[in-house]
């Protein structure tokens, strides 16, 4: 098949494209490289600030349109797959529908469906926006002020148009699947996040470390949203209490390849706390034999059918001191890291190897060709 990926996030589409190429398919990735992450792409379309940047951005998109024709599958990173107004996005979506066979959504990021699910108080016990029955720190921060734009009449109308005109959606996380479950249930699938386990070779923890090395990546604009601000504060407290038993490494807004190299020398990755599931950073770390402190709720394990291998250190954001207690447990049970290291790699091999995720996508696409 010929497959076009429009947009990318945390190297998702690029990793999936590589796996599909290895299976004999032709893939093209058009993206901005996930901004500072500078991920690989075949066609670069990146929006710069200012009037000239906007003009060039539109010019680059129009120049790329002839190269976006004749594909069996088009996968969009988000309903807002380009940084354009809804009327322009609607025009491009019509173009993609006209000149390609099938158009799908990779449900892997913030959109109206996800925001609604996070805020309805029924789908999740907690989320980026709501902790039980109270607003999350992000919801109370100035950073969340832009969320109201999702519900402007023209944006809402475009969302309805988008859902009617795509052939289906494939979710990469339990949360995104649940967000779309009541919206397009008959056109919804789940695949998971692809991790290239051949590229990310394991560095297993072979002996009990004298000091546990913790690694945390900070994205300034998403720190409150993902809870890394709380993770970092707790990690600093714990390292101050146990200076002879742990140390920390902090990476802030570094390119994807550099980020992966930096985490290699650590034992434990701290990722995010408002998720039910481990996302890309946690899974890459686990593939390398690190232990992930992230989301791993029972609903997630049940959803993927995993009954025995539960290696992720789950954080409950509804309990104020849960992060401190989990980090202290790691320090006080350093011997457990050896087994968790191998369990983590095994988990990713079973559930998130990029070839497995690619096969799930193919199986889903084939349903629409029957």
Segments of 153-223 assigned E as strands: 168-171, 188-190, 212-218
Q: Identify which of 252, 261, 185 has the alpha carbon closest to the alpha carbon of residue 220.
A: 252
pLDDT number for residue 36: 65
Q: What is the DSSP-derived secondary structure letter of residue 353?
A: B
Report strand pairing: 130-131 vs 134-135: antiparallel
233-284 residue pLDDT tens? 999 999 999 999 999 999 887 777 788 888 888 999 999 999 999 999 999 9
- What percent of the chain stands above pLDDT 90? 84
Q: What is the mean pLDDT of residues 315-329?
A: 95
With a cut of 80, say whether residue 320 has pLDDT above it.
yes
Q: Could you give the 3-state DSSP secondary structure of residue 39?
A: coil
Q: How far, in whole angstroms, is CA 237 from its chain's centroid? A: 28
Domain locations in the chain as residue ranges: 2-194+354-367, 212-351
Return d(Cα 57, Cα 32) in angstroms, integer. 10
Q: Which residue has the tokens 């290699």?
A: 264
Residue 334 has pLDDT above 90, yes or no: yes
The mean pLDDT value of the chain amounts to 94
Query: CB-side exposure of 85: number of CA atoms within 13 Å?
Result: 5
How does pLDDT run across 17-56, given as a tens digit for each residue? Answer: 999 999 999 999 999 877 766 788 999 998 888 889 899 9
Q: What's 212-351's CATH class?
A: alpha beta
Same topology between domain 2-194+354-367 and domain 212-351: yes
The class level of CATH for 2-194+354-367 reads alpha beta
């Amino acid at each position: 098949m010929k497959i076009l990926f429009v947009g990318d996030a945390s190297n998702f589409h690029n990793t999936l494209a590589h796996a599909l190429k290895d299976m004999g398919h032709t893939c093209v990735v058009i993206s901005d490289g996930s901004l500072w992450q500078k991920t690989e792409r075949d066609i670069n379309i990146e929006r710069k600030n200012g009037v000239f940047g906007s003009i060039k951005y539109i010019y680059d998109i129009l120049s790329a349109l002839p190269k976006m024709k004749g594909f069996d599958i088009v996968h969009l990173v988000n309903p807002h797959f380009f940084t354009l107004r809804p009327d322009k996005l609607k025009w491009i979506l019509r173009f993609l529908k006209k000149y390609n066979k099938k158009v799908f959504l990779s449900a892997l990021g913030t959109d109206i469906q996800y925001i609604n699910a996070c805020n309805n108080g029924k789908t999740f016990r907690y989320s980026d926006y709501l902790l039980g029955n109270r607003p999350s720190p992000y919801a109370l921060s100035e950073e969340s002020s832009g969320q109201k734009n999702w519900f402007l009449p023209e944006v809402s109308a475009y969302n309805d148009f988008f859902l009617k005109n795509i052939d289906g959606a494939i979710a990469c996380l339990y949360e995104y699947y649940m967000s779309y479950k009541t919206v397009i249930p008959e056109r919804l699938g789940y695949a998971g996040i692809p991790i290239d386990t051949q590229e990310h070779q394991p560095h297993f923890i072979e002996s009990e470390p004298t000091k546990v090395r913790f690694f945390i990546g900070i994205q300034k604009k998403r720190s409150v949203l993902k809870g890394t601000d709380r993770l970092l504060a707790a990690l600093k407290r714990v390292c101050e209490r146990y200076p002879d038993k742990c140390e920390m490494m902090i990476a802030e807004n570094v390119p994807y390849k550099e980020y992966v190299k930096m985490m290699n020398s650590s034992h434990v990755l701290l990722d995010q706390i408002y998720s039910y599931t481990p996302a890309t950073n946690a899974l890459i770390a686990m593939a390398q034999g690190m232990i992930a402190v992230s989301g791993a709720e029972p609903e997630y394990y049940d959803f993927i059918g995993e009954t025995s291998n539960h290696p992720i250190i789950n954080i409950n954001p509804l309990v104020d001191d849960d992060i401190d207690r989990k980090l202290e447990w790691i320090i006080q049970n350093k011997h457990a890291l050896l087994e968790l290291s191998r369990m983590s790699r095994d988990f990713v091999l079973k559930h998130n190897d990029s070839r497995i995720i690619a096969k799930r996508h193919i199986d889903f696409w084939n349903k629409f060709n029957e």
